[in-house]
Amino acid sequence: MFSPDGSQTAEPNVDNWWATRFRTRTIMGGSFELASYVRSLEENGLPPDQRGGNSVELQTWGKAMGRSSTEGRCLTSGPLAVDLRLAVGLDKVLHHFGRELQQNGPKSSSRGTQAERIGTFISHDWGSRGSLKFMSLLLIFNSRAAAVIAVSISAVVALMEAYAVTPSCMSSTQLIGVGGKVYLVRSSMSSASGLVAYLIILCFWQRILSLCGQSASVFLDKLCIDQENEKQKERAILGLAGFLDISDKLVILWSPSYFERLWCMYELACWLRLSRMKDTIVMPIHLAPVIFVITLSLWGAILCFIYGAESGYLDVFSAAFAAFLTGVVGVILPTHISRHLANSLRSLPQQLESFSIREANCFCCSHDHVHPETKKQLPCDRRLIYKMLLQWQQDFTVSGESVTTLEAIDFRIRQKLKPWILRNIGGAHAPFRLLLATISVPFLCSTMDFLPAMIQLGGVPAFRLGLDAALRSFVLGPCVAKVVMQISVAGFDCKDFVGCDLLLTLLKGTATSLVLTVICAIIYLPRSLLEHVGWQLATAVVLVVSTIAFFRCGCRKEVRGRGSVNPDLY
């Protein structure tokens, strides 16, 4: 995590690792042949149960690798020194639209402040795009506040305009059918006000909190570790476990290369050692643009329908433009983006299933322990990490267990972390709570226009309007994203040819539109045409049960494992 990633892999069996990866290595200024390496292992007198096995003592490996490269360098897991115990406000991480999350961003001294506890430890790999990590952090930390404030402002604006507390600057009327009767409902500025509030809070909520001294406290290596003072930087990196020990939550910004980074896996092992899974948040960074595209396009389509109406009727231009916005921007564009991100999202289950910390990439090993630019000797980070993991043997295994620490970590991630991650965010779905804080918000804000009509009508018509608004917000909203992503990753896919790529997008977008049209019809028709309220209630029950089953079925399909779990390891 603290250095560029490489493509080299390694095995804890040093004999196999050395024989297959490096026949000759320059150590301490000379040539170190494989035969000399084997002789050094024999001279060090390994215990009989470790010779040639998967649990070769890594201290012996360090001797064979040469003392000069790692002398005096050791990872620690104890309390951090006071001058290293630093945290930074999340507003600084999100400043300038996440410039600090870019790999090629400017290096600087630490901008953190001393803290007894760290609110959130942000774990990520620097090879992924900073813009995607920025959007992911907005979803994690700002989307709930943005949703609550946007819906509240929409409700206040609608009620104030309905009761003439404030003059209506822009409004229209809609014809709403309820039980075979048509009612005239006046639309206010509530939806537009909600959109403005949502965007402001989404982007600047942490900045607003920082003015009150309440911004989230986080650890981001680039800001909390001095990048200019090499001595301080080395001390902080070697004491990385101490930062996790004083952190309340772990946020993993997952990218397809995350589980291939040795330093990232060291951070995860430090956290798993503490057994605090409930305080872990995993966010695939490629999910964020899909969520934002769907949310903003739906908001645009809703506003076009509302404010394109005149005296209760949509003119031809407004109806055509709204249909185009909904179909092309609201369905086709998210489908196209989802298709291109499907491979990365779909690779998560398989990556967890076949995870091995032995295969994680390490910059020093991939460059033969020689810096490609400065040509200086590089100490072996892999040796340091493996050595520390061996010291945590009792945290990952039970007494009498014959597996090594590395095997226990692999097993823990495959059998415990995998189902937990996929249950929250799987290969082709987003968590329901996240969808409520994003895609459902446009529907919630637009239904605030119904509040004056519900108060005026009262009784059964008001109940039916309210039930219709609830179904649109809590069923249709989440289902839009779910259907888009499920259809995008389903079946055959081809991105090699532009014509085939666009054709598949159109076909899958059309299928998505048809499914969503059916869902909309099921929601609207019982409220509009059927006189008995029981039909609407029955339809609502069917829709709610189907939505729950739709989401839970997707989770179970992703979580379904391939083997038994040994409960003794947990």
Q: Which residues pair with 120 in a beta bridge?
A: 218, 249
Q: What is the mean pLDDT of residues 333-346?
A: 77
In the chain, DSSP finds a helix count (H) and a strand count (E) of 27, 12
Distance between alpha carbon 18 and the CA centroid of its chain, in Å? 37
pLDDT tier for residue 175 given thresholds of 50, 70 and 90: low
Distance between alpha carbon 421 and the CA centroid of its chain, in Å? 10
Q: State the first-to-last Cα distance of the chain, in angstroms, to the nearest integer.
A: 27
Are the CB atoms for 24 and 36 separated by under 8 Å? no
Pick the range with the lowest mean pLDDT from 203-217, 254-268, 300-314: 300-314
Widest pairwise Cα distance in the chain: 94
Helices (H), 99-180: 130-141, 143-162
Nearest to 223 by CA among 40, 378, 98, 45: 98
Residue 68 has pLDDT above 50, yes or no: no
Q: Classify residue 163 as exposed, middle or buried by CB count within 10 Å of its CB (0-12, 13-18, 19+).
A: exposed
Q: What is the mean pLDDT of residues 83-90?
A: 92
Q: What is the mean pLDDT of residues 71-83?
A: 80
Q: Edge-to-edge strand order for the sheet containing 280-284?
A: 113-114, 86-89, 217-219, 118-123, 247-254, 280-284
Structure tokens at 111: 């901008």
Distance between alpha carbon 23 and the CA centroid of its chain, in Å? 41
Nearest to 183 by CA among 554, 503, 410, 465: 465
Mean pLDDT, all residues of the chain: 76
Q: What is the mean pLDDT of residues 494-511?
A: 81
Mapped onto helix, strand or coil, the DSSP state of residue 547 is helix
pLDDT in tens, 454-474: 877 788 888 888 888 888 889
Mapped onto helix, strand or coil, the DSSP state of residue 252 is strand
Residue 76 has pLDDT above 90, yes or no: no
User: How far is Cα 225 from Cα 85, in angstroms, rounded to an integer?
Assistant: 10
Pick the range with the lowest mean pLDDT from 248-252, 305-309, 485-489: 305-309
Q: What SS3 string covers 351-365?
A: HHHCCCHHHCECHHH
The torsion region of residue 425 among left (phi > 0), alpha (psi -120 to 50) and beta comes to beta
